[in-house]
Amino acid sequence: MDATLNPSAQSGASSTGTSSAVSSNGSISNMFTTLLVAQIKNQNPLEPTDPSQFVNQLTQLSQMEALQKLSDQGSSNAAALGSLQALALGGQVGSQVTVKSDSVSLATEPVRIGFTLGSNSTRTTLLLTGSDGRQKSVELGSHNAGDVAYSIDPAALGLPPGRYTLAVQTSSQESPSLEVTGTLSSVQLSSAGGALLNVTGVGQLGSAALTRFNGKPNTTTTASATH
């Protein structure tokens, strides 16, 4: 009697085992064990599988489970760090912060911006483009390489309230990234677990845009000066 199993029967047995394993328990361990048992049962008795192959498969299972645990732990740690970050940033509400942003929201108060030049510029121009497409050019003059600060005064520039994109043109043809300084008005958690900052003059943006804490205004000094 030929003891070799029909390949189609082997395939059917494996498929049945896989299906029942996935439906009854979705864990990698149970599914792998079910497949391994089916493989042992359905092996050809005349040409048995090398036991070392089963050992290798069990080793692979252990590695897969370890990686899955690391992945789950990483997700949990990321969520915890996001919460801790939001709590830490929450303690800075009311502070002056500087964030990376290529746009500002203008109302009536001046908004401070800054950028860094990599080389000297004999002519430096700030371009503000409103949501209606209208552009306002502000000549900033000549600047040496290094940090440049400027305060956008909507009233002095005749700019109506609204959202404006920012860009800087230089004689050296570089395009420096811009930063905006404003008050951190609130912090909230995003659906992804990160922290979202609300900064006056900018709006809402991710915590990765934060570049500098500038401290809270000295209310004691301000109060003393009024008396």
Q: Give CA separation, 134 vs 57, 160, 163, 165, in Å.
A: 66, 11, 11, 11
Task: Measure the CA–CA gap between 16 and 18, rounded to whole angstroms.
Answer: 5
Q: Which pTM does this prediction carry?
A: 0.60
The whole-number average pLDDT for the span 179-196 is 83
Nearest-angstrom CA–CA distance, 149 and 115: 7
* Domain boundaries 96-226, corresponding CATH code: 2.60.40.4070
133-178 pLDDT tens trace = 999 999 999 999 999 999 999 999 999 999 999 999 999 999 999 9
Domain limits, CATH 2.60.40.4070, in the chain:
96-226
